[in-house]
Amino acid sequence: MMMTLKQQLDLLNSQKASATELTQEALQKAHALQDKLNAFVTIDDSSLEAAKSADERRARGENGLLDGLPIALKDIFCTDGLKTSCGSKMLDNFVAPYDATVVSKLKSAGAVSIGKLNMDEFAMGSSNENSFYGPVKNPWNTQKVPGGSSGGSAAAVAAGIVSATLGTDTGGSIRQPASFCGITGLKPTYGRVSRYGMVAYASSLDQGGPMARTAEDCALLLSAIAGHDPRDSTSVNRPVDDYETALSQGVAGKVIGLPNQYFGEGLDEGVRKVVDDAIKALESLGAKVVELDLPQQSLALPAYYVIAPAEASSNLSRYDGVRFGYRAENPADLNDLYCRSRSEAFGEEVQRRIIAGTYVLSEGYFDAYYRQAQRLRRMIYNEFATAFESVDMIVGPTTPTVAFDLGQNTKDPVAMYLNDIYTITANLAGIPGLSVPCGFSDGMPVGLQILGRPFEEGTLLAAGHAYQRATDWHTQQPEGL
Amino acid sequence: MQWETVIGLEIHAQLATQSKIFSAASTAFGAEPNTQACPVDLGMPGILPVVNQEVVRMAVMFALATNAEIGQRSVFERKNYFYPDLPKGYQTSQFEFPIVGKGKVEIVLEDGSTKVVGLTRAHLEEDAGKSVHDLYSEFSAIDLNRAGTPLLEIVSEPDMRSAKEAVAYAKKIHSLVRYLGICDGNMQEGSFRCDANVSVRLKGESEFGTRAEVKNVNSFRFLERAINFEVERQIDLLESGGTVVQETRLYDPTKDETRSMRSKEDAEDYRYFPCPDLLPVVIEEADIQSIRDALPELPDQRLNRYQSQWQLSGDDARLLVQDRSVAEYFEAVANQADPKLASNWMVNEVIVRLDKDSIEIERSPVGPSQLAALIARIADKTINGKIGRQILDALWSGEASDVDSYIADKGLKQVTDTGAIEAWVDEVIANSPDQVQQIKEGKDKVMGFLVGQAMKLSKGKANPAQLSELFKAKILG
């Protein structure tokens, strides 16, 4: 039986279970399902020690917000003393001497991390097939991809290994796998959660966030990780809302916009039907639904595939074989050291994006690509800003299809990129986005995406929570694990 | 053919902050390799930069001191290239929107005329680490202590027309940053580095010639020599029918020549773009005002003060204010002794000796109090100037330490005994009938000879002015 974070917390508070027991169980499941799902890069058995300490704290009445709750982290968050691979051969030997800010925040809230989760290499991918450690399988059907790049984070929750994980979202990497695996995932507003110690893919788009079974659990986790960090200049210095209180707001009286562009060509009929039902459910909860026209949304994909690779090409320059990470053997000279270290240790998709990013920043192309993409980005932001003057939320499918077969899109990068068509706009505009399970199509979960105004995570979580109180899609569990 | 030289300088001034531009690691010089490099400086995964606000304040000080525009919204950008001592694979610098815009400084040329040199811009950036190639036979070593050290790159307009002008400009900037306290100016340690863009063209031509950038110049003397060498090289090349290629050249002080380092064809495409990890630096008018209010007295203001307060000549005052330490030394002397005499002794004796021994005034063997004591004894006529120089020599070498006891020990007190002086004057008059005759005929210049003879007899201890008076009285009646 799979539990939510909240239910586990109740067990701890009522002394019906100990942190050690919960952690032991999570570790057992993690080991047992590793061959089948490949969700972890590292399972940290020493986390039992942390669980014991949590039990001692609780006995003394010194427990924090998440004390004793087993969770797991996408392997993009640096952990002091434990390998952080970012899904890459490049960092297969990398152990950071520091914790990411969100990791230290979770630690001080008492959460117990049982390990590091598999992911697309450097968070580049939508299927988790780009990992040096092999693909993650979807717990609902192990022939299917779990989505990416936070595929391990989604699969571990869907399989009930842990109740909550941390993922990161640069173009949909929390919401798309959440949708594919039938769980709830939140990409917070850019700047709400510190990026310090989170390995960078595209710095102006990357944002860490919670993945769990329920919106309520996401609220709990977000409360622990959100906030200004003086070590991240792009984190925003404004108070963090009380997300748990916000949950009770509901959706009654809220105006929900449905952009025509999210229901057009390319949307799978089965997904459309499920999403239509979900919207009706929101209406019956008191939300007012209006149609929206957001014509600039079509600019998002080209803008994203200029800006993200451009930043990535620069962010990944530090992996040169000189100070840490993979180093080619017996280099003939400096250039050979660079070329071979990077060619041997970066996967195909990473190399593709580095090359594309290098190209768009080159002299003579910068204005035509990078500057133009920034202009599109501003247009998309402005379009959202205008829309949010008349609606409180924008709702649609998280992805155009349900999870596809492993290997189906690996030869066609553009088909793969189209998976993110509904999610990348939120990264370009910096706004928050939530994906909640809303049904099934062809036996695979479908996600409903709810976008909101900057820093209105509370509004989204309240809508998700209201929906989840009225439906039971989020309680469905894959069978045969 | 008449050639004209055109020079522009790029000066890298290392900002005198305690910690680095984007991290809390120390910037102190000379530590064990890689002991002052934290995860930010090492470019480790996930680590983010945070701007040291002190560098912003220092850049604004520089802008205010050079009447420059202040970029109220400046942007850090990434300059991308691979090099082992560049940990992140990019240097965080400023490009399109620098913190300091157009400005100007006034320099004084050798003939005493002044010239205004334009500043194109000045921007903030981080220094790279250091590659050490001679430590191991098979490997190069990397020291990242310097990585992330804050630099202000000051770019001039191509306004200089000779090596001397370029040196005067570089000295002016050096003087300014030291006055502002934003750079220690130590050229040997690389805290103040000059690159010169040098080209030549025919006089009257309006287009600039192709330029070469001369690097690795770590003293003002080398700057002058490197530019002169480069100018001659280019003129020789053009006069023999060749062309100058745009390239970077390295100055070799031991051979006194420049040689090619890389040509423009090898120039990298740096793929500048705004650094997404840093917000634009926004400077409020109120911040600028409070920095302005706290500016120290600058060399030009100090020059005016020396002239009005102490009636020093323009040349002397200019020499004294150029280096903040020299000026402070001088003021310490001038506050304890006659300022005019203090100025003369600084200009004619102390600065000359420092130059000759190639030492900085901070390491001067004679302190301001000793010099003031010496000048006081000259002013009160205990000793004359000649003996004064002799005592300064003794102080300089360490033979003497206290002026008064040295005068007493060596019996250097000026002879004021009229009887003794009269005896020397009489003796000289008796021995020099020809010269005495000439003075009677109105040839005043000969007086110097007579005074000199008498000084010799006094072993330097007579007062020359007193002797002169006495000669006049005795010969002319």
Q: State the smallest CA–CA distance between residue A407 and chain B in angstroms.
A: 30
Closest Cα in chain A, distance from residue B51 (Å): 8
Cα separation, A481 vs B13, in Å, equals: 65
- The confidence score (pLDDT) of residue A409 equals 87
What average pLDDT does chain A have? 97
d(C-alpha A228, C-alpha A220), whole Å = 17
Mutate to test the interface with A, among B34, B133, B266, B277 (most CBs of A within 10 A): B277
Residues 6+ apart with CB under 8 A from B136: none
Q: What separation in angstroms does the CA of A12 have from each of A5, A9, A48, A218? A: 11, 5, 16, 19
pLDDT digits over A424-480, tens only?
Answer: 999 999 999 999 999 999 999 999 999 999 999 999 999 999 999 999 999 999 998
The residue of chain B nearest to residue A324, with distances taken between CA atoms, is B44
Q: Are B56 and B71 in contact (CB under 8 A)?
A: no
Q: Which B residues in the span 44-73 are in contact with A, Cβ-Cβ below 8 Å?
A: 44-51
- Quickly state the pLDDT bin for B266 (edges 50, 70, 90): low
- The nearest CA of chain B is from the CA of A352 a distance in Å of 18
Task: List Cβ neighbours of A113 (8 Å cut-off, separation of 6 or more).
Answer: A44, A47, A50, A70, A71, A72, A73, A79, A103, A106, A107
Best of A91, A99, A166, A323 to disrupt the B interface (most B CBs within 10 Å) is A323
pLDDT band at B181 (very low <50, low <70, confident <90, very high): very high
**Across the interface, which of A313, A323, A370 has its CB nearest the CB of B42?**
A323
Domain holding A24: CATH number?
3.90.1300.10
pLDDT in tens, B275-330: 999 999 999 999 999 999 999 999 999 999 999 999 999 899 999 998 889 999 99
Separation of alpha carbons A178 and A244, rounded Å: 21
Q: Are residues B276 and A196, on separate chains, in Cβ contact within 8 Å?
A: no
What is the band of B415 on the pLDDT scale with cuts at 50, 70, 90? confident
Output A162 or B135, whichever has higher pLDDT: A162
Give the predicted TM-score (pTM) of the model. 0.90
Q: B267 or B235, which is more confident?
A: B235
Q: What was the pLDDT predicted at B139?
A: 86
Residue A69 contacts residue A12 (beta carbons within 8 Å): yes
The amino acid occupying position A194 is: S
Q: Which ranges of A150-194 would DSSP assign to H, the alpha helix?
A: 151-158, 175-181
As a whole number of angstroms, the distance between CA A386 and CA A394 comes to 12
- The token pair at B87 is 């940990």
The pLDDT of residue A158 is above 70: yes
Does residue B264 register a pLDDT over 70? no
pLDDT at B476 exceeding the cut of 90: no
Q: Over the stretch A89-122, which tens digit does the pLDDT of each residue have? A: 999 999 999 999 999 999 999 999 999 999 999 9
A166 and A410 in contact (C-beta within 8 Å)?
A: no
Residue from B22, B47, B96, B278 to probe the interface with A (highest A Cβ count within 10 Å): B47
Least confident of A214-218, B44-48, B414-418: B414-418
User: Most A CBs within 10 Å: which of B23, B38, B48, B132, as the mutation test of the A interface?
Assistant: B48
Q: Where exactly are the structural domains of chain B?
A: 3-288, 297-410, 418-476
Token digits for A325?
Answer: 């990470």
Let me know: does A454 contact A388? Beta carbons within 8 Å. no
Structure tokens at A190: 């850019």
**Helix (H/G/I), strand (E/B), else coil: A457:** helix
Chain A residues near residue B90 by CB distance under 8 angstroms: 314, 317
What DSSP designation does A380 have? H
Residues in chain A: 481
Residue A191 DSSP SS3 = coil
Q: Could you give phi then psi for residue A377, rounded to 5 degrees? A: -60, -45
Residues of chain B contacting residue A326, judged by C-beta atoms under 8 Å apart: none
Q: Which residues of A are catalytic?
A: 74, 149, 173
| CA neighbor of B2 nearest in space, from B204, B164, B198, B197 | B204
pLDDT mean over A135-145? 98
Residue A434 contacts residue A403 (beta carbons within 8 Å): no
How many other β-carbons are positioned within 10 Å of the β-carbon of residue B153? 19
CA distance B431 to A276: 128
Asked whether the beta carbons of residue A358 and residue B44 sit closer than 8 angstroms, the reply is: no
**What is the phi/psi pair of residue B29, to 5°?**
-85, 145
Q: Using the Cα atoms of residue B251, residue B252, residue B258 and residue B259 in order, give the sign of their dihedral.
A: negative
Mean pLDDT taken over chain B? 93
pLDDT at B86 over 70: yes
From CA B233, how far away is CA B55, in angstroms rounded? 39
A231 interface with B at CB cutoff 8 Å: yes
Cα–Cα distance, A325 to A132 (Å, whole number): 14
Nearest to B93 by CA among B276, B279, B274: B274
Contact A91 B45 (CB under 8 A): yes
Nearest CB to A196; choose among B48, B88, B142: B48
Could you say which of A84, A230, A233 has the minimum Cβ distance to residue B277?
A233
Q: pLDDT for B207-254, tens place per residue?
A: 999 999 999 898 999 999 999 999 999 999 999 999 999 999 999 999
Structural domain count of chain A: 1
Q: Please say if the pLDDT value at position A1 is more than 80.
A: no
Q: Secondary structure of chain A: what % helix, strand, coil (to 5)?
A: 45, 15, 40
What average pLDDT does the segment B389-407 reach? 93
Contact B39/A at CB under 8 A: yes
Cα B421 to chain centroid distance, Å, stands at: 47
Chain A from 341 to 360: CB within 8 A of any B CB: 358
Closest to B7 (Cα-Cα) out of B152, B204, B211, B154 = B211
**Three-class secondary structure of residue A477 per DSSP:** coil
Decide: helix, strand or coil at residue A53.
helix
CA dihedral A24→A25→A27→A32, nearest 10 degrees, is 140
| pLDDT tier for residue B193 given thresholds of 50, 70 and 90 | very high
Comparing CB atoms, the residue among B89, B271, B278 nearest residue A318 is: B89
Instruction: Report d(CA B466, CA A254) in Å as an integer.
Output: 105
Which tokens go with A458? 């509370």
How far is B84 from A26, CA to CA, in rounded Å? 43
Q: Judge whether B273 is closer than 8 Å to chain A, CB to CB.
A: yes
Give the whole-angstrom CA distance, residue B212 versus residue B7: 10
With a cut of 80, say whether residue B263 has pLDDT above it: no
Length reported for chain B: 477
Q: What is the pLDDT of residues B49-62, one digit of tens each?
A: 999 999 999 999 99
Asked if residue A182 belongs to a domain, the reply is: yes
Residue A352 lies in a domain: no
Distance, CA of A294 to CA of A276 (rounded, Å): 19
pLDDT tens digits along A339-381: 999 999 999 999 999 999 999 999 999 999 999 999 999 999 9
Element at B404 (helix H, strand E): helix B403-410
In this prediction, residue A417 carries a pLDDT of: 87
Nearest-by-Cβ selection for A317 from B47, B80, B142: B80
Does residue B261 register a pLDDT over 90? Answer: no
Q: Are A12 and A58 in contact (CB under 8 A)?
A: yes
**Helices and strands (DSSP H and E) totals, chain A:** 16, 11
What whole-number distance in Å separates Cα of residue B58 and Cα of residue B434?
A: 69
Q: Which residues of A touch B45 (CB under 8 A)?
A: 78, 84, 86, 91, 94, 96, 199-200, 318, 324
Identify the burial level of B220 via C-beta atoms within 10 angstroms of its C-beta, where 0-12 means exposed, 13-18 middle and 19 or more buried: middle
Please check whether residue A334 is in contact with residue A102, taking contact to mean a CB–CB distance below 8 angstroms.
no
Contact at CB, B271 and A98, closer than 8 angstroms: no
Residue A193 sits at the chain B interface (C-beta within 8 Å)? no
Question: Is B78 in Cβ contact with A314 (below 8 Å)?
Answer: yes
Whole-number Å distance between alpha carbons of A315 and B44: 11
Residues 6+ apart with CB under 8 A from A73: A79, A103, A106, A113, A115, A116, A117, A165, A166
Section B23-32 average pLDDT: 92
**Which residue in A76, A314, A323 is closest to B87 by CB distance?**
A323
Amino acid in position B126: E
Give dist(CA B186, CA B173) in Å, integer: 13
DSSP state of B339: H
Paired tokens of B311? 């009636």
The DSSP bridge partners found for residue B114 are B108
Domain housing A91: 5-257+390-475
Residue A432 φ/ψ, nearest 5 degrees: -80, 155
Closest Cα in chain A, distance from residue B22 (Å): 10
Listed by number, the residues of chain A in 75-104 with a beta carbon closer than 8 Å to a beta carbon of chain B are 76-78, 84, 86, 91, 94, 96-98, 100
Count chain A–chain B contacts defined by CB atoms under 8 A: 102
Q: How many CA atoms lie within 13 A of A183 on its CB side?
A: 41
Question: What is the residue type of B190?
Answer: G
C-beta of residue A406 within 8 angstroms of C-beta of residue A444: no
Contact between B46 and A96 (Cβ < 8 Å) = yes
Cα–Cα distance, A158 to A42 (Å, whole number):
18
Cβ contact, residue pair A323, B276, below 8 Å? no
Distance from CA of B328 to the nearest CA of A (A): 40
Is A345 among the domain residues? no
H helices within A346-442, ranges in order?
Answer: 348-361, 372-390, 413-417, 424-429
Q: Which of A428, A41, A466, A471 is nearest to A205 (CA)?
A: A428
- pLDDT class of B420 with cuts at 50, 70, 90: confident
CB-based contact, B276 to chain A, within 8 Å? yes
User: Which residue from A235, A2, A186, A220 is spatially nearest to A109, judged by alpha carbons?
Assistant: A220
Q: B418-476 is classed in which CATH architecture?
A: Orthogonal Bundle (1.10)
B124 in Cβ contact with B94 (< 8 Å): yes
